[in-house]
Amino acid sequence: MDKLYIANGQDPLRMTLDLLNRVNPLQNEDRNISIGIKPNLVCASPAEHGATTHPEIIEGIIIYLLDKGFKNIRVIEGSWVGDSTKRAFKVCGYEEISKKYNIPLIDLKGDSYVTRSYKELELKICKTVFDLDYLINVPLIKGHCQTKITCALKNLKGLIPDTEKRRFHTMGLHKPIAYLNAVIKPNLIIADGICPDPYFEEGGRPVNLNRILLGFDPVLVDCYAAQVLGYKPYEIKYIRLAKDEGIGYPLSENTAIINIYESHKPDDTKITQKDKKYLKIVDEADACSACYSNLVSALEKLNASGITEKFADQICIGQAYRGYKGVLGIGNCTSCFEKHLPGCPPETEDIVRFLKDL
Ligand code: SF4
Alpha carbon distance 101, 79 (integer Å): 23
Residue 266 lies in a domain: no
Backbone angles phi, psi at 356, to 5 degrees: -65, -45
Task: Yes or no: say if 47 and 85 are a contact pair by the CB < 8 Å rule.
Answer: no
Is pLDDT of 280 > 90? no
Instruction: From residue 8, give the alpha-carbon distance in Å to each of 16, 189, 193, 266.
Output: 10, 16, 9, 6
Q: For residue 46, is the peptide bond before it cis, meaning its omega torsion is within 30 degrees of 0? A: no
Q: What is the per-residue pLDDT for 271?
A: 82
From 204, 224, 259, give the residue that closes a domain. 259
Q: What is the per-residue pLDDT for 197?
A: 94
Strand, helix or coil for residue 107: strand
Residue 270 lies in a domain: no
Task: Tell me which residue of 188, 171, 38, 178 sits closest to 118, measured CA to CA.
Answer: 178
Looking at the fold, whether 76 and 157 belong to one and the same domain comes out as: yes
Residues in the chain: 358
Q: Which domain holds residue 88?
A: 3-259
Looking at the fold, whether 232 and 287 belong to one and the same domain comes out as: no
Is pLDDT of 77 > 70? yes
**81 CA: nearest ligand 1 atom:** 5
Residue 226 lies in a domain: yes
Q: How far is the CA of 110 from the centre of ligand 1 (A)?
A: 20
**Which DSSP state fits 140?**
B
**345 CA: nearest ligand 1 atom:** 5
Q: What is the per-residue pLDDT for 295?
A: 94
- What order of strands is seen across the sheet that includes strand 282-284? 282-284, 315-317, 328-330, 339-341
Helix and strand element counts for the chain (H, E): 11, 16
Q: Which residues line ligand 1 (CB under 6 A)?
A: 81, 166, 287-288, 290-291, 318-319, 331-333, 344-345
Looking at the fold, whether 173 and 285 belong to one and the same domain comes out as: no
Residue 309 lies in a domain: yes
Give 156's contacts (C-beta < 8 A, 6+ positions apart): 38, 137, 177, 180, 181, 184, 186
Give the residue, out of 79, 166, 340, with the most ligand 1 atoms within 8 A of its beta carbon, to mutate for a pocket test. 166
Looking at the fold, whether 281 and 253 belong to one and the same domain comes out as: no
Q: How far is the CA of 59 from the centre of ligand 1 (A)?
A: 34
What pTM value is reported for the model?
Answer: 0.89
Looking at the fold, whether 248 and 328 belong to one and the same domain comes out as: no
Hey, whose CA ends up nearest to atom 8 of ligand 1?
288
User: Pick the residue with more confidence: 326 or 37?
Assistant: 37
Q: How far is the CA of 151 from the centre of ligand 1 (A)?
A: 23
Looking at the fold, whether 253 and 284 belong to one and the same domain comes out as: no
Residue 264 lies in a domain: no
Q: How far is the CA of 169 from the centre of ligand 1 (A)?
A: 10
**288 CA: nearest ligand 1 atom:** 8
Alpha carbon distance 322, 328 (integer Å): 13
Task: Yes or no: say if 341 and 354 are a contact pair by the CB < 8 Å rule.
Answer: yes
**Which DSSP state fits 331?**
S
Alpha carbon distance 155, 152 (integer Å): 5
Residue 269 lies in a domain: no
**Span 125-161, pLDDT tens digits:** 999 999 999 999 999 999 998 899 999 999 999 999 9
- pLDDT bin (cut points 50, 70, 90) of residue 264 is low
Looking at the fold, whether 42 and 109 belong to one and the same domain comes out as: yes
Give the residue, out of 202, 294, 332, with the most ligand 1 atoms within 8 A of its beta carbon, to mutate for a pocket test. 332
Q: How far is the CA of 345 from the centre of ligand 1 (A)?
A: 5
Q: What is the per-residue pLDDT for 1?
A: 58
Worst-scoring range by mean pLDDT, 25-39, 73-87, 237-251, 290-304? 290-304
From 231, 259, 287, give the residue that closes a domain. 259
Looking at the fold, whether 89 and 151 belong to one and the same domain comes out as: yes
Looking at the fold, whether 97 and 230 belong to one and the same domain comes out as: yes
Residue 162 lies in a domain: yes
Residue 165 lies in a domain: yes
Beta strands in the chain (DSSP E): 3-8, 35-39, 73-77, 105-107, 113-118, 121-126, 134-138, 142-144, 148-150, 188-193, 211-215, 256-259, 282-284, 315-317, 328-330, 339-341
Looking at the fold, whether 132 and 161 belong to one and the same domain comes out as: yes
Q: How many domains does the chain have?
A: 2
Q: What is the per-residue pLDDT for 294?
A: 92
Looking at the fold, whether 223 and 301 belong to one and the same domain comes out as: no
| Radius of gyration of the chain, Cα coordinates, nearest whole angstrom | 20
**Span 291-332, pLDDT tens digits:** 998 998 899 899 888 888 777 778 999 999 999 999 999 999
Q: How far is the CA of 156 from the centre of ligand 1 (A)?
A: 20
Looking up residue 105, the CATH number of its domain turns out to be 3.40.50.11440
Is pLDDT of 212 > 90? yes
From 205, 228, 259, give the residue that closes a domain. 259
Cα 247 → chain centroid: 18
Looking at the fold, whether 76 and 204 belong to one and the same domain comes out as: yes
